Amino acid sequence: MSQTLATVITGASSGIGEALACQLAAKEKQALVLVARRQDKLANLAAELRTKHGVRVEVIGLDLEQVGAATQLVAAVEALGLSIDMLINNAGFGLNDNFGDMAIDRVQGMMQLNMVALTELTHAVLPSMRERKQGRIMNIASVAAFQACPNFAVYGATKSYVLMFSEALAAEEKKNGIKVIAVCPGATATAFHDVAGNHGTFLTKIMDTPETVAKTALCAMKCGCPMVVTGLMNKPLPFFIRLMPRQCVTWMAGKLAAR
Ligand SMILES: NC(=O)c1ccc[n+]([C@@H]2O[C@H](COP(=O)([O-])OP(=O)(O)OC[C@H]3O[C@@H](n4cnc5c(N)ncnc54)[C@H](OP(=O)(O)O)[C@@H]3O)[C@@H](O)[C@H]2O)c1
Protein backbone atom coordinates (compact mmCIF):
# COMPACT_ATOMS: atom_id res chain seq x y z
CA MET A 1 0.00 0.00 0.00
CA SER A 2 1.48 3.37 -0.99
CA GLN A 3 1.75 5.75 1.92
CA THR A 4 1.38 9.53 1.85
CA LEU A 5 4.74 11.27 2.02
CA ALA A 6 5.24 13.83 4.76
CA THR A 7 7.68 16.35 6.19
CA VAL A 8 8.31 16.12 9.92
CA ILE A 9 9.52 19.30 11.62
CA THR A 10 10.67 19.17 15.23
CA GLY A 11 10.49 22.39 17.22
CA ALA A 12 7.74 23.79 14.97
CA SER A 13 5.94 25.70 17.73
CA SER A 14 8.09 28.83 17.33
CA GLY A 15 11.05 30.51 15.65
CA ILE A 16 12.91 28.86 12.78
CA GLY A 17 10.79 25.67 12.90
CA GLU A 18 7.56 27.66 12.60
CA ALA A 19 8.99 29.68 9.69
CA LEU A 20 10.05 26.46 7.93
CA ALA A 21 6.54 25.04 8.39
CA CYS A 22 4.91 28.17 6.90
CA GLN A 23 7.23 28.25 3.89
CA LEU A 24 6.92 24.51 3.20
CA ALA A 25 3.12 24.62 3.46
CA ALA A 26 3.03 27.47 0.93
CA LYS A 27 5.55 25.97 -1.52
CA GLU A 28 5.56 22.18 -1.40
CA LYS A 29 2.01 21.34 -0.32
CA GLN A 30 3.36 18.07 1.15
CA ALA A 31 1.69 16.80 4.33
CA LEU A 32 3.34 18.27 7.43
CA VAL A 33 3.82 16.81 10.90
CA LEU A 34 4.57 19.48 13.50
CA VAL A 35 6.33 18.35 16.68
CA ALA A 36 7.09 20.16 19.96
CA ARG A 37 5.98 20.15 23.61
CA ARG A 38 3.48 23.05 23.37
CA GLN A 39 0.62 21.29 21.61
CA ASP A 40 -1.69 24.34 21.76
CA LYS A 41 0.77 26.44 19.73
CA LEU A 42 1.17 23.63 17.20
CA ALA A 43 -2.61 23.22 16.90
CA ASN A 44 -3.08 26.95 16.16
CA LEU A 45 -0.34 26.92 13.54
CA ALA A 46 -1.73 23.74 11.96
CA ALA A 47 -5.22 25.25 11.70
CA GLU A 48 -3.80 28.40 10.07
CA LEU A 49 -1.76 26.41 7.51
CA ARG A 50 -4.68 24.13 6.61
CA THR A 51 -6.95 27.13 5.99
CA LYS A 52 -4.37 29.18 4.08
CA HIS A 53 -2.78 26.48 1.94
CA GLY A 54 -5.14 23.48 1.97
CA VAL A 55 -2.40 21.10 3.12
CA ARG A 56 -2.68 18.18 5.52
CA VAL A 57 -1.07 19.18 8.81
CA GLU A 58 -0.79 16.84 11.79
CA VAL A 59 0.37 17.73 15.28
CA ILE A 60 2.35 15.59 17.74
CA GLY A 61 3.01 16.93 21.25
CA LEU A 62 6.21 15.30 22.49
CA ASP A 63 9.16 16.06 24.77
CA LEU A 64 12.18 15.01 22.72
CA GLU A 65 14.45 15.23 25.76
CA GLN A 66 12.86 12.01 27.04
CA VAL A 67 14.77 8.79 26.40
CA GLY A 68 13.00 6.83 23.64
CA ALA A 69 11.15 9.87 22.25
CA ALA A 70 12.51 9.37 18.72
CA THR A 71 11.07 5.83 18.49
CA GLN A 72 7.78 7.13 19.87
CA LEU A 73 7.67 9.90 17.25
CA VAL A 74 8.38 7.62 14.28
CA ALA A 75 5.68 5.19 15.49
CA ALA A 76 3.19 8.06 15.87
CA VAL A 77 3.89 9.27 12.31
CA GLU A 78 3.46 5.72 10.93
CA ALA A 79 0.18 5.39 12.83
CA LEU A 80 -1.07 8.43 10.90
CA GLY A 81 -0.42 6.49 7.66
CA LEU A 82 2.44 8.79 6.73
CA SER A 83 5.92 8.01 5.46
CA ILE A 84 8.70 10.48 6.22
CA ASP A 85 10.11 12.02 3.03
CA MET A 86 11.72 14.99 4.76
CA LEU A 87 12.96 15.17 8.34
CA ILE A 88 13.83 18.54 9.81
CA ASN A 89 15.69 18.18 13.10
CA ASN A 90 15.26 21.72 14.34
CA ALA A 91 14.26 21.45 18.03
CA GLY A 92 17.11 22.56 20.24
CA PHE A 93 18.15 24.96 22.95
CA GLY A 94 21.25 26.54 24.44
CA LEU A 95 22.25 27.80 27.88
CA ASN A 96 24.49 30.83 28.36
CA ASP A 97 26.54 30.28 31.53
CA ASN A 98 29.80 28.86 32.80
CA PHE A 99 29.60 25.08 32.45
CA GLY A 100 30.43 24.50 36.13
CA ASP A 101 27.49 26.67 37.20
CA MET A 102 24.87 24.84 35.11
CA ALA A 103 22.44 22.31 36.58
CA ILE A 104 23.55 18.95 35.23
CA ASP A 105 20.01 17.84 34.38
CA ARG A 106 19.62 20.85 32.01
CA VAL A 107 22.97 19.96 30.40
CA GLN A 108 21.85 16.35 29.96
CA GLY A 109 18.52 17.53 28.49
CA MET A 110 20.35 19.76 26.02
CA MET A 111 22.62 16.93 24.88
CA GLN A 112 19.68 14.54 24.63
CA LEU A 113 17.64 16.98 22.50
CA ASN A 114 20.35 18.58 20.37
CA MET A 115 22.29 15.37 19.62
CA VAL A 116 20.71 12.09 20.75
CA ALA A 117 17.12 12.65 19.56
CA LEU A 118 18.43 14.09 16.28
CA THR A 119 20.69 11.07 15.71
CA GLU A 120 18.03 8.51 16.64
CA LEU A 121 15.40 10.16 14.43
CA THR A 122 17.82 10.28 11.51
CA HIS A 123 18.67 6.59 11.98
CA ALA A 124 15.00 5.65 12.12
CA VAL A 125 14.05 7.38 8.85
CA LEU A 126 16.96 6.14 6.71
CA PRO A 127 15.69 2.60 5.89
CA SER A 128 12.48 3.77 4.19
CA MET A 129 14.27 6.65 2.46
CA ARG A 130 16.88 4.21 1.11
CA GLU A 131 14.14 1.89 -0.10
CA ARG A 132 12.46 4.75 -1.99
CA LYS A 133 15.87 6.07 -3.14
CA GLN A 134 14.62 9.48 -2.09
CA GLY A 135 14.63 11.55 1.07
CA ARG A 136 15.76 14.79 2.66
CA ILE A 137 17.21 15.41 6.11
CA MET A 138 17.81 18.93 7.38
CA ASN A 139 19.69 19.29 10.67
CA ILE A 140 19.82 22.72 12.29
CA ALA A 141 23.32 23.34 13.63
CA SER A 142 24.66 26.87 14.27
CA VAL A 143 27.64 29.12 13.58
CA ALA A 144 28.56 28.10 17.15
CA ALA A 145 29.60 24.79 15.54
CA PHE A 146 32.77 26.23 14.00
CA GLN A 147 34.72 27.10 17.16
CA ALA A 148 34.86 26.61 20.93
CA CYS A 149 32.31 28.87 22.65
CA PRO A 150 33.03 29.99 26.23
CA ASN A 151 29.69 30.50 28.08
CA PHE A 152 28.16 28.15 25.51
CA ALA A 153 30.63 25.30 25.97
CA VAL A 154 28.14 22.43 25.77
CA TYR A 155 25.74 24.07 23.32
CA GLY A 156 28.59 24.88 20.90
CA ALA A 157 29.89 21.32 21.20
CA THR A 158 26.45 19.83 20.49
CA LYS A 159 26.23 21.95 17.34
CA SER A 160 29.75 20.91 16.24
CA TYR A 161 28.48 17.34 16.54
CA VAL A 162 25.42 18.16 14.41
CA LEU A 163 27.59 19.79 11.73
CA MET A 164 30.18 16.98 11.51
CA PHE A 165 27.56 14.23 11.69
CA SER A 166 25.44 15.82 8.95
CA GLU A 167 28.29 16.50 6.54
CA ALA A 168 29.55 12.91 6.90
CA LEU A 169 26.02 11.55 6.41
CA ALA A 170 25.52 13.73 3.31
CA ALA A 171 28.57 12.05 1.75
CA GLU A 172 27.45 8.54 2.82
CA GLU A 173 23.85 8.82 1.63
CA LYS A 174 24.36 10.63 -1.69
CA LYS A 175 24.55 7.27 -3.52
CA ASN A 176 21.15 6.37 -2.03
CA GLY A 177 19.43 9.48 -3.38
CA ILE A 178 19.13 11.07 0.07
CA LYS A 179 20.03 14.72 0.56
CA VAL A 180 21.39 15.75 3.96
CA ILE A 181 22.14 19.33 4.94
CA ALA A 182 23.49 21.05 8.05
CA VAL A 183 22.11 24.56 8.44
CA CYS A 184 24.25 26.99 10.42
CA PRO A 185 22.32 30.11 11.40
CA GLY A 186 23.93 33.05 13.13
CA ALA A 187 22.01 34.94 15.82
CA THR A 188 18.32 34.86 14.85
CA ALA A 189 15.46 36.76 16.48
CA THR A 190 13.58 33.92 18.22
CA ALA A 191 12.72 32.74 21.73
CA PHE A 192 16.06 30.90 21.71
CA HIS A 193 17.67 33.93 23.37
CA ASP A 194 15.06 34.03 26.20
CA VAL A 195 15.64 30.34 26.92
CA ALA A 196 19.44 30.67 26.73
CA GLY A 197 19.61 33.87 28.81
CA ASN A 198 21.35 35.83 26.07
CA HIS A 199 19.88 39.26 26.68
CA GLY A 200 22.51 41.94 27.16
CA THR A 201 25.03 40.08 24.96
CA PHE A 202 26.40 41.32 21.63
CA LEU A 203 24.75 38.28 20.01
CA THR A 204 21.30 39.85 20.30
CA LYS A 205 22.33 43.16 18.72
CA ILE A 206 22.44 42.02 15.07
CA MET A 207 19.97 39.27 14.28
CA ASP A 208 18.44 37.68 11.19
CA THR A 209 14.76 36.90 11.03
CA PRO A 210 13.65 33.25 11.27
CA GLU A 211 11.93 33.71 7.89
CA THR A 212 15.24 34.61 6.19
CA VAL A 213 16.98 31.64 7.82
CA ALA A 214 14.21 29.27 6.70
CA LYS A 215 14.27 30.62 3.13
CA THR A 216 18.06 30.22 2.82
CA ALA A 217 17.93 26.74 4.36
CA LEU A 218 15.23 25.47 1.99
CA CYS A 219 16.96 26.99 -1.03
CA ALA A 220 20.30 25.36 -0.09
CA MET A 221 18.61 22.00 0.47
CA LYS A 222 17.03 22.20 -2.98
CA CYS A 223 20.49 22.85 -4.49
CA GLY A 224 21.90 19.77 -2.74
CA CYS A 225 24.41 21.67 -0.56
CA PRO A 226 25.65 19.59 2.42
CA MET A 227 26.05 22.75 4.55
CA VAL A 228 24.87 26.33 4.54
CA VAL A 229 25.71 29.30 6.75
CA THR A 230 22.78 31.72 6.81
CA GLY A 231 23.11 35.52 6.86
CA LEU A 232 25.46 37.55 4.67
CA MET A 233 27.56 38.68 7.65
CA ASN A 234 28.07 35.08 8.82
CA LYS A 235 28.97 33.48 5.50
CA PRO A 236 32.74 34.25 5.59
CA LEU A 237 33.02 33.07 9.22
CA PRO A 238 34.17 29.46 8.63
CA PHE A 239 36.85 30.71 6.24
CA PHE A 240 38.28 33.38 8.59
CA ILE A 241 38.19 31.02 11.57
CA ARG A 242 40.56 28.67 9.73
CA LEU A 243 43.05 31.48 9.19
CA MET A 244 43.07 32.81 12.76
CA PRO A 245 44.88 31.31 15.83
CA ARG A 246 42.44 29.01 17.67
CA GLN A 247 42.89 30.72 21.05
CA CYS A 248 42.09 34.08 19.48
CA VAL A 249 38.89 32.68 17.92
CA THR A 250 37.85 31.17 21.28
CA TRP A 251 38.47 34.49 23.03
CA MET A 252 36.35 36.38 20.48
CA ALA A 253 33.51 33.86 20.72
CA GLY A 254 33.54 34.28 24.51
CA LYS A 255 33.34 38.07 24.18
CA LEU A 256 30.31 37.84 21.88
CA ALA A 257 28.42 35.69 24.40
CA ALA A 258 29.44 37.63 27.53
CA ARG A 259 26.61 39.36 29.41
N1 LIG B 1 17.97 31.71 17.40
C2 LIG B 1 19.27 31.64 17.17
O3 LIG B 1 20.01 32.62 17.33
C4 LIG B 1 19.86 30.34 16.67
C5 LIG B 1 21.14 30.39 16.10
C6 LIG B 1 21.71 29.21 15.65
C7 LIG B 1 21.02 28.02 15.74
N8 LIG B 1 19.78 27.99 16.31
C9 LIG B 1 19.09 26.70 16.41
O10 LIG B 1 17.86 26.78 15.74
C11 LIG B 1 16.97 25.78 16.26
C12 LIG B 1 15.61 26.40 16.49
O13 LIG B 1 15.69 27.36 17.51
P14 LIG B 1 14.94 28.76 17.44
O15 LIG B 1 15.96 29.81 17.32
O16 LIG B 1 13.84 28.72 16.46
O17 LIG B 1 14.41 28.85 18.96
P18 LIG B 1 12.95 28.70 19.58
O19 LIG B 1 12.03 29.69 19.00
O20 LIG B 1 13.16 28.69 21.05
O21 LIG B 1 12.49 27.26 19.09
C22 LIG B 1 12.91 26.07 19.68
C23 LIG B 1 11.91 24.99 19.33
O24 LIG B 1 12.35 23.74 19.90
C25 LIG B 1 11.26 23.18 20.63
N26 LIG B 1 11.76 22.40 21.76
C27 LIG B 1 12.55 22.84 22.78
N28 LIG B 1 12.74 21.85 23.66
C29 LIG B 1 12.05 20.78 23.20
C30 LIG B 1 11.84 19.45 23.68
N31 LIG B 1 12.37 19.05 24.84
N32 LIG B 1 11.07 18.61 22.95
C33 LIG B 1 10.51 19.01 21.80
N34 LIG B 1 10.67 20.25 21.28
C35 LIG B 1 11.43 21.11 21.98
C36 LIG B 1 10.43 24.38 21.10
O37 LIG B 1 9.08 24.01 21.31
P38 LIG B 1 8.38 23.71 22.73
O39 LIG B 1 8.94 24.67 23.72
O40 LIG B 1 6.94 23.90 22.43
O41 LIG B 1 8.72 22.28 23.02
C42 LIG B 1 10.53 25.29 19.88
O43 LIG B 1 9.55 24.95 18.95
C44 LIG B 1 17.64 25.23 17.51
O45 LIG B 1 18.23 23.97 17.22
C46 LIG B 1 18.72 26.25 17.82
O47 LIG B 1 19.82 25.68 18.49
C48 LIG B 1 19.19 29.13 16.78
- 39-95 pLDDT, tens digit per residue, is 999 999 999 999 999 999 999 999 999 999 999 999 999 999 999 999 999 999 999
DSSP assignment of 186-227: -SBSSTHHHHHT-TTSGGGTS-B-HHHHHHHHHHHHHHT-SE
pLDDT at 39: 98
Residue 17 beta carbon below 6 angstroms from any ligand 1 atom: yes
Task: Answer yes or no: 155 catalytic.
Answer: yes
Second-level CATH architecture of 4-257:
3-Layer(aba) Sandwich (3.40)
Q: Label residue 1 by pLDDT band (50, 70, 90).
A: low
pLDDT at residue 29 above 90?
Answer: no
Task: Round to whole Å and give the CA distance between 225 and 118.
Answer: 19
Domain boundaries, the chain: 4-257
pLDDT at 74: 98
- Contact 190/15 with Cβ under 8 angstroms? yes
Residue 146 beta carbon below 6 angstroms from any ligand 1 atom: no
- Tens digits of per-residue pLDDT, 163-188? 999 999 999 999 999 999 999 999 99
- If one residue of 13, 23, 227 were mutated to test the ligand 1 pocket, choosing by the most ligand atoms within 8 A of its CB, it would be 13
Residue nearest to ligand 1 atom 19, measured at CA:
15
pLDDT at 153: 98
- Contact 152/168 with Cβ under 8 angstroms? no
pLDDT at 133: 98
- Tens digits of per-residue pLDDT, 104-153? 999 999 999 999 999 999 999 999 999 999 999 999 999 999 999 999 99
3-state secondary structure 87-156: EEECCCCCCCCCHHHCCHHHHHHHHHHHHHHHHHHHHHHHHHHHHHCCEEEEEECCHHHHCCCCCCHHHH
Distance 197 CA to ligand 1 centre (A): 14
Q: Is 93 exposed, middle or buried (0-12, 13-18, 19+ CB in 10 A)?
A: middle
Out of 146, 152, 155, 165, pick the active-site residue: 155
pLDDT at residue 259 above 90?
Answer: no
- Confirm whether pTM is higher than 0.75: yes
Distance 65 CA to ligand 1 centre (A): 12
Distance 236 CA to ligand 1 centre (A): 25
Q: Label residue 2 by pLDDT band (50, 70, 90).
A: low
pLDDT at 10: 98
- Tens digits of per-residue pLDDT, 227-238? 999 998 999 999
pLDDT at 3: 82
Average pLDDT, stretch 11-25? 98
User: What ligand 1 atom has the least distance to the C-alpha of 189?
Assistant: 1
- If one residue of 10, 16, 143 were mutated to test the ligand 1 pocket, choosing by the most ligand atoms within 8 A of its CB, it would be 16
Residue 36 beta carbon below 6 angstroms from any ligand 1 atom: yes
User: What ligand 1 atom has the least distance to the C-alpha of 203?
Assistant: 3
